[in-house]
Each structure stands twice: as structure tokens, then as C-alpha cells.
Amino acid sequence: MGKFLAVILLLVLVVGGIGVASYNGLVSSDEGVSAKWAEIDNQYQRRAELVPQLVETVKGAADFEKSTITEVTEMRAKVGQVRLPEGGPQSQEQMDEFIKSQDALGQSLGRLLMVAENYPQLKATEAFRDLQAQLEGNENRIGVARRDYIDAVQKFNTGVRSFPKNLLASQFGFEAKPQMSFDEAVRDAPKIDFGSDR
């Protein structure tokens, strides 16, 4: 009888240990996704802060195409209207709306900078060159943050769907996170290349 109780106790401890480890793994992965989302949000916020500075610098070019400036300003306003819950999007629809608005802003910025290439006096200003460098670095950081978020979501979603974690996930309310998806037209966008004539 003593051996039987010892075996039962050992089984309970093993199953309990697996349960605790699985739960803690889900919590850790969930927090990882939140941290990666915060980095994406931070980088997009930084880009949004650079846009008004860029627009003001570009406005200094007397005959610069006003429609391009207006487009960038409108896209930045649309990005600001996309409201997400704390911790990031909770549904694929929220994620798609967020990505669509951010990609539209990125494409508008790319067009603005391409048009700016036609204005040598603008390209020669130190403020414009500094903003170009900041935007280029920011776009690179956005790309890294997106990749890291995609990896974190993939890890979390795999855990939520894998046995035995899926049993705990359903019991404790862990649900698969929405993944970033990109239209083919913007998969490689925005490309902000300032050439080598800095």
C-alpha cells in the first residue's frame, strides 16, 4: 500500500510540475509578445514624431509639391486615429488595420523623399540630411521590431496550440495572438534610400 501511495504521489508531482512549467512558459511567452509589441509601438511612435519635423523642413522649399506634403500629413493623422488596446491588437482585424495605416504612412514618406530628390537646395540643408538619417535608422528598427514580434507571436501561438500547453491555455484564457501579415504590394515597402551623396 505504501508503494502504491508513493507512485501516486510521484505521478501527481510530475503532472503538477509539468502543469506549472507549461503555465509559466505560456506566461513568459505572452509577456515576450507584449514586450515585442511595445518595441513596435515605440518605433512607429518615433516615426510619427519625425514626420512633422520633416514636413516643416520640406515646406521651406518654395515650390515643393504641396499635394505630397498634404498626403503625408493626412496619413500621419490616420495612423493616429487607429486605437489599439494596451498590449497590442487583440484580433486579426485590428492588426490588419494597424499595419495598413502604418504602411500607407511609410509609402507616403517614401514618395515625399523621392520628390525631395528634385530639390538640391533642400537636400543640401543639414536639417534635412539629419532627418533623412533618422528616418532611415528608424525604418531599419521598425523592420527589426516587426521581425522580432512575428517570431515571438509564432512561439506563443505554437505553445498555445501544442499539447499539453493547449489544455492549460484554454483553462486560463490564453488565446492565439494575431500575426502580422503584409500585402504583396507593400511586403518590401517602405524603402527609404537616401543614396550615398550625404
Average pLDDT on 152-180 reads 90
d(CA 72, CA 112): 7
CB 162 within 8 A of CB 29: no
CB 159 within 8 A of CB 165: yes
Q: What is the pLDDT of residues 172-185, one digit of tens each?
A: 989 999 988 765 43
Residue 11 has pLDDT above 80, yes or no: yes
CB 116 within 8 A of CB 58: yes
What the block records as the C-alpha cell of 180 is: 502580422
Q: What is the pLDDT of residues 119-136, one digit of tens each?
A: 777 777 788 888 888 989
Q: What is the pLDDT of residues 48-82, one digit of tens each?
A: 898 888 888 887 765 666 777 788 888 888 888 88
Taking phi over 0 as left and psi of -120 to 50 as alpha, with beta for the rest, 173 belongs to left
What domains are defined for the chain? 25-186 (1.20.1440.20)
Residue 187 has pLDDT above 60, yes or no: no
Residue 18 has pLDDT above 90, yes or no: no
